[in-house]
C-alpha cells in the first residue's frame, strides 16, 4: 500500500477522533473478490479497511455505508460502525469498526434468525430504495415499483440478462425462457408488503462477534420480498437449522416458501454468471426450467 495513502487516511482518522492516530501495524485479511481488505492496528484500536478503485466503482463505499446506516436505523440487528469513507486520487476507502469474530453457535444462529425477522418487519410504501447500489461489483438499480414482480423483473432479472447477452453468456433460447418466466412470475408467489432486506445474504456476509452478537456486513439493501433474503441463505450454505427455525417462529414465511428458493436465486446466479462465467450457466438453466 502506498505510503501517501496511509498518511492521508491517518490524517482523516486524526480529524475524526480529534486525537493523533498512529499506525501500529497493518496486514491483509480476506475480503472477497472485489476489494482489498486490511486490518489496521492503530493507537485508537483495530479498524477494518477496504480499498478499491474510484474510477472502476464510483460511490461503491458510499453506497455500502448508506446500506449499513439503513440497517442500523432499523434498530434490529448490528452492523459495523462506519468510521470514515472517501477517496485519495483513484483509491477509494472505507474504514469501519473491527469485529473479532468466531464460529456461530446454535444460540448465535437463533439470535441471527430472530433479529433478521425483526429487520424484515421494517417496511416502505414501495419496492426499491432511495438510491442505487452494488451487488458484488455490478451496479444494482433500485427504482421504485409497487409490485415485487415488476421490481424483480425490471430492476433485477432483465439488467442481468442484458449484461449476459452482451457477453454472449446466454443463448437466445435462454433469454426467451427467462422472458417467459417473467410473464409467469405473478402467478408463482403471493405479493407481500416491502421488507427491508440485506440483498446479498450469503454465509460470508454475516459475522458472529466474540461475545455471540450477530453482525451483517456488505449489504446490497433495498425494500424487497423477504423470501429473497431467506432464499439466498440457501444458495451457498453457512446457515444453521436453528437460524431458520428461529426466523419462522418470529415471522413465519408462506408455507411453500422453499418451493421458490431457486426462483429468487436466479438473480444472484445470473450475477455470478456475469462475474465468473459459464460455470454458472447450468444452475441458471435448471432454475429457469423448474418454473416453466
- Report the 3 state secondary structure along 142-185: CCCECCHHHHHHHHHHHHHHHHHHHCCCCCHHHHHHHHHHHHHH
Q: Which three cell numbers stand for residue 190?
A: 403471493
Rg of the chain in Å (alpha carbons): 20
Asked if 48 and 80 count as a contact pair (C-beta separation under 8 A), the reply is yes
The one catalytic residue among 91, 174, 177, 200: 200
Clarify whether 200 is annotated catalytic. Answer: yes
- Coil, strand or helix: which one is 106? helix
Closest CA to 153 of 125, 115, 184: 184
- Return the H-helix or E-strand segment holding 73: helix 60-73
CB atoms near residue 127 (< 10 Å): 27
Asked if 61 and 92 count as a contact pair (C-beta separation under 8 A), the reply is yes
Closest CA to 206 of 131, 65, 102: 102
- Return the H-helix or E-strand segment holding 91: strand 91-97
Active site residues: 200
Amino acid at each position: 500500500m502506498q505510503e501517501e495513502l496511509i498518511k492521508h487516511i491517518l490524517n482523516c482518522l486524526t480529524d475524526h477522533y480529534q486525537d493523533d492516530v498512529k499506525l501500529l501495524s497493518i496486514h491483509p485479511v480476506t475480503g472477497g473478490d472485489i476489494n482489498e481488505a486490511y486490518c489496521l492496528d492503530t493507537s485508537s484500536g483495530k479498524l477494518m479497511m477496504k480499498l478499491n478503485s474510484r474510477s472502476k466503482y464510483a460511490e461503491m463505499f458510499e453506497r455500502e455505508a448508506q446500506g449499513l446506516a439503513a440497517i442500523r436505523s432499523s434498530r434490529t440487528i448490528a452492523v459495523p460502525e462506519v468510521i470514515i469513507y472517501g477517496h485519495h486520487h483513484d483509491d477509494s476507502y472505507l474504514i469501519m469498526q473491527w469485529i473479532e469474530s468466531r464460529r456461530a453457535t446454535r444460540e448465535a444462529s437463533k439470535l441471527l434468525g430472530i433479529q433478521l425477522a425483526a429487520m424484515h418487519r421494517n417496511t416502505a410504501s414501495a419496492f426499491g430504495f432511495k438510491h442505487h447500489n452494488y451487488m458484488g461489483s455490478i451496479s444494482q438499480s433500485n427504482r421504485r415499483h409497487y409490485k415485487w414482480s415488476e421490481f424483480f423483473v425490471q430492476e433485477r432479472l432483465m439488467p442481468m440478462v442484458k449484461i449476459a447477452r452482451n457477453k454472449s453468456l446466454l443463448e437466445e433460447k435462454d433469454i426467451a425462457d427467462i422472458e417467459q418466466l417473467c410473464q409467469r412470475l405473478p402467478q408463482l408467489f403471493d405479493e407481500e408488503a416491502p421488507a427491508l432486506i440485506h440483498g446479498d445474504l450469503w454465509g460470508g456476509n454475516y459475522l458472529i462477534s466474540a461475545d455471540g452478537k450477530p453482525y451483517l456486513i456488505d449489504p446490497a439493501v433495498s425494500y424487497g420480498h423477504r423470501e429473497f433474503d431467506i432464499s439466498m441463505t440457501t444458495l451457498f450454505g453457512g446457515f444453521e437449522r436453528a437460524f431458520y427455525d428461529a426466523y419462522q417462529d418470529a415471522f413465519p414465511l408462506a408455507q411453500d416458501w422453499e418451493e421458490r428458493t431457486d426462483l429468487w436465486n436466479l438473480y444472484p446466479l445470473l450475477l455470478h454468471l456475469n462475474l465468473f462465467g459459464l460455470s454458472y450457466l447450468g444452475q441458471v438453466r435448471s432454475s429457469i426450467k423448474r418454473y416453466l
